[in-house]
Structure 1
């Protein structure tokens, strides 16, 4: 069973994703969050193997990255902070695959540079998400 976390700021999108994923018997949605502040905490508790995460999740700007980074580079950009969070998620014991969703095609390179495994542009999301889920769906052995 593939353990999935949905991280999106809009309740209707989380609901639609959950309903869509329920069509796959090998998938279990183990947690949902609506803010970046919940992301690391809840991911460490539910240990998902796949994280579907919005690039526009609120609260990323509230994360404080201190120490060496501030001394050498000044304050990090929002994309750098997102990269630190994605890197931390990859280090969870469940070693999740991180798929980021977004509204802008221009976000593809910042998302991949930040360390995400793939980017789903919301304009193409249904078809690409279906292909992704079909790729992880085990073959029917009837």
Structure 2
């Protein structure tokens, strides 16, 4: 509620409440949890992915580090699943160029035992990796548990 007060006056809030729109405005603000994304400062596609997530409604904080290996190790991202950037959102790990719709689905379902989701490598055509000619690689999203078990994200 403090977030709404900082952008709307009390009079505006009362006016919205009278129309029923206040009930719509509150869930929209809470629709997507905040993300923290770690990236190497030399990688440009990470910034493009973050822009896509922001456009999809996520609030993203970027942290730059020259030691992505330590970030990935701490967050238990298997070597076979690694990409260029690593994100934490809603207590889950997102590795690489995972689309916003898949992240929202994972956050809504929260399958038992899942630590995160990965788009291994840097698939062409994925968010942040769009190609001028429109070419795309298959996007194989993988769920992982942090101890070596993986399965395809359906």
For the superposition of Structure 1 and Structure 2, which TM-score range results when normalised by the shorter chain? 0.3 to 0.5
- Higher relative contact order, chain-length normalized (CA < 8 Å, sep 6+): 1
Structure with the greater alpha carbon radius of gyration: 2
Higher helix share: 1
